[in-house]
Amino acid sequence: MDPRDPITSTRGVGPVLERRLTAAGCRRVLDLLAHLPLRYEDRRTLGRLPGADHRATESAAPGPLTVVAQLESVRRVFGRRRFSRVEAVACDGAARVGVVWFNRPYLAQQLEEGVPYLLHGPLRRRGGDGPWQLSNPSVERISGGEPNGGPFDGGGVRPVYGRIGEVPPSRVARLAGDAIRGLRDTSGPDWIEEWLPCEERIRHGLPRLAQALTEVHSPSGEASIEDLNARRSPAHARLAYGEFLLQQLQLAAARRQRRRSGKPHRYRADRVAWAAASRLVPFRLTGAQERVLGEIADDLARNEPMLRLVQGDVGSGKTVLAALSCLMAARSGLQSALMAPTELLAEQHFTSLARLLGSHMTIALVTSSQCAASDDGSVSRPESTEERIAAGRIDLVVGTHALIQERTRFARLGLAVIDEQHRFGVVQRQSLARKGLRPDLLVMTATPIPRSLALTVYGDLDVSVLDELPPGRRPIETRVTTDGRMEETVEEVRRRLESGGRAYVVFPLIDGGEGVATGLPSLKEFGPRWARALAAPHGVVHGRLRRQERDETMSRFAAGSIQVLLATTVIEVGVDVPEATAMVILGAERFGLAQLHQLRGRIGRGTDPALGDPLCVAITGDSSAEAKRRLEAFAATTDGFRIAEEDMRQRGPGEILGTRQAGLPQFRFGDLARDWRWLVAARQDASGVLDRLAGPGNDALRRQLERRIPGLMSPEEGSPRP
């Protein structure tokens, strides 16, 4: 028997079961084994049923009990409504104890009286101090000393599985056990080819692949039940590390290939030219901006395409860096594209770029409705913006990812800037590559990710960090209060409005009629109250307004004819109004840490001391521990990196990276939060392993890698194979 054999070679898989397993993507024996147990039950010690006067169990650790017992008086009991339960009495020769099962009516037919069963489950006193009862135990028939036909060893450590499609957990358990036994019996203990390099495996003290798969599906008892359940056993680590190493090798290989292939365009820019360009902007660059600009300049000068991520908190001045890079491209006769996640943000970029460097290069905005050009606006010219881009007469094109990628043809694209705000440009990168374009890529993100995590997950990106805000920014004070303190908040905000500031009031919902009653404050319901209380001209923006109306309100807010903006999170990204010094966030428990931080980034962007100190008030009606922890973390710091670390601690890195949307690889065995150290190890090992790949003894690993080139971690590719 071979792990790559069809699933039918496993004992007990007939046509019906085969159909069900295949429908769930389980075609080969190996696919079955890639379904790891969800948890493990410790049945190593057989216990005894407690007698009527039994007290010992009460004081002993309240773990589940494993006993061999016969069943009596099995019956189905009907309760209120349509609920029913199955009850029985278990007897181990010395004591009798009641047993109850919920939601398993079929047991009433299946269970036989007078034969031995292995029962495993929690032992409780009915109603707290009544007679002992086993509740919802797992139950297995023991016939001839063997439960389910397998050799009975007193129970051992039992894996508990999830369903595979329509195949129930107990069936999956039996199949996995049979598969492991079958493989071991026919091919010996090393039944699957080892592809992990010996050096790394030994250095990390990891078991061989066959041993690891055997151990997770039929634990030998060597690993502790806690480690198994936490998926931290050496066997689990082996699977996770192996998976991570393959991914990191792939990234490292792609990077080397990129290095080798070079890029088709050249920049005519030396240090002097960059320095001269940076004197064109109306302020002095911060030290961090200078440093990152130097890193970008070095990248562009290289023969290989740049792939650089710039992380910088909101307001750290990323746009200037993008603008200067695009200018250097223009001066080298190359076009650039700046891609934003929303049209609103694209328009803002267009406006601020035109203001910054519009007199030094030609900038065009591509939107779904119209095209505009910054230079002369000559409507009479018959040529459309798109034609001018295609002819190479536009230096910088600004738009959304979708618009630029779908509509725009460039004459000679040299540089693409992706302003992700929240996400990474993995998907965008791939779609550009598919169009045959290989520009230098600059990805900007305002959601800082712990640097090491970014490096590791995106092993092929270089990372720059803007860890300094432009001078003159006032620290934002953040308060968390409950619903009842409105007057105090109103007072504080009004003071800021009177000194010429502007305020945002952010609501989690537009109106209360969205689905079920949420108890959250909605804009429709509470907006008018806040408008009255703040007693200043106000406007309303939310996602259901027409864009034109929204934009008009936004510009009036920016100009100052509106001082209060009642809004939903549409203002979350990019909106830049320097006079905004106050923000009230209602239903704050509803927002994630990163989102709260992003919202708060809308205020305190100006440097005029007359405006006073910026204030953010998060109002919450919920005091759940989790919400409280989140809001406390939010109030404690305005440092985006610390927020990101905290967010990662609370939600795990998968959430932070927005896994699915961002096109991140999905891992089958490894988990970014749990197996973080193994990912770091794999990242560190990858380059060395790649150097030795062509050498002897790595045939199996080479085959693994070659198979993975078409896609990332789809189950087919991710599965180990001989």
Q: Which of 137, 177, 207, 317 binds ligand ADP (CB under 6 A)?
A: 317
Q: Which of 155, 305, 312, 341 binds ligand ADP (CB under 6 A)?
A: 312
Q: Which of 446, 562, 689, 713 binds ligand ADP (CB under 6 A)?
A: 446
Region 552-581 residues binding ligand ADP, contact defined as CB under 6 A: 576
Query: Is residue 614 a contact residue for ligand ADP (CB under 6 A)?
Result: no
Query: Is residue 353 a contact residue for ligand ADP (CB under 6 A)?
Result: no
Q: Which of 319, 374, 638, 719 binds ligand ADP (CB under 6 A)?
A: 319
CB of residue 606 to ligand ADP, shortest distance in Å: 8
CA dist., res. 608 & res. 591, Å (int): 30
Query: Is residue 315 a contact residue for ligand ADP (CB under 6 A)?
Result: yes
Region 271-310 residues binding ligand ADP, contact defined as CB under 6 A: 283-286, 289
Query: Is residue 320 a contact residue for ligand ADP (CB under 6 A)?
Result: yes
CB of 18 or CB of 639, closer to ligand ADP: 639
Sheet holding 146-147, edge to edge: 123-125, 132-135, 96-102, 84-91, 65-78, 116-121, 138-143, 146-147
* Among candidate residues 128, 48, 62, the one with its CA nearest the CA of residue 91: 48
Region 468-487 residues binding ligand ADP, contact defined as CB under 6 A: 470
Q: Which of 35, 85, 318, 429 binds ligand ADP (CB under 6 A)?
A: 318
Region 4-43 residues binding ligand ADP, contact defined as CB under 6 A: none
Strands 116-121 and 138-143, bridge-based pairing: antiparallel
* Among candidate residues 527, 504, 300, 339, the one with its CA nearest the CA of residue 427: 339
CB of residue 29 to ligand ADP, shortest distance in Å: 52
* Number of residues binding to ligand ADP, judged by CB under 6 A: 17
CB of residue 598 to ligand ADP, shortest distance in Å: 10
CA dist., res. 306 & res. 298, Å (int): 9
CA dist., res. 216 & res. 39, Å (int): 10
CB of 462 or CB of 576, closer to ligand ADP: 576
608: left (phi over 0), alpha (psi -120 to 50) or beta: beta
**Cβ 152 vs Cβ 117: under 8 Å:** no
**Cβ 571 vs Cβ 504: under 8 Å:** yes
Q: Which tokens belong to 636? A: 């404690």
CB of 357 or CB of 426, closer to ligand ADP: 357
CB of residue 349 to ligand ADP, shortest distance in Å: 9
The full 3-state SS of 70-95, as one line of letters, equals: EEEEEEEEECCCCCEEEEEEEECCCC
CB of residue 294 to ligand ADP, shortest distance in Å: 15
CB of 83 or CB of 283, closer to ligand ADP: 283
What is the full DSSP assignment across 172-227? HHHHHHHHHHHHHHHH-S--S---S-HHHHHHTTPPPHHHHHHHHHS--S-S-HHH
Residue nearest to ligand ADP (CB): 317
CB of residue 583 to ligand ADP, shortest distance in Å: 16
What's CA 504's distance to the chain center, in Å?
29
Name the residue type at position 406: E
CB of 121 or CB of 601, closer to ligand ADP: 601
CB of residue 312 to ligand ADP, shortest distance in Å: 5
CB of residue 577 to ligand ADP, shortest distance in Å: 10
Exposure class string for 69-93: b at 16+ Cβ within 10 A, else e:
bbbeebeeeeeeeeeebbbbbbbbe
Query: Is residue 349 a contact residue for ligand ADP (CB under 6 A)?
Result: no
Binding residues vs ligand ADP (CB under 6 A) = 283-286, 289, 312, 314-320, 446, 470, 576, 605
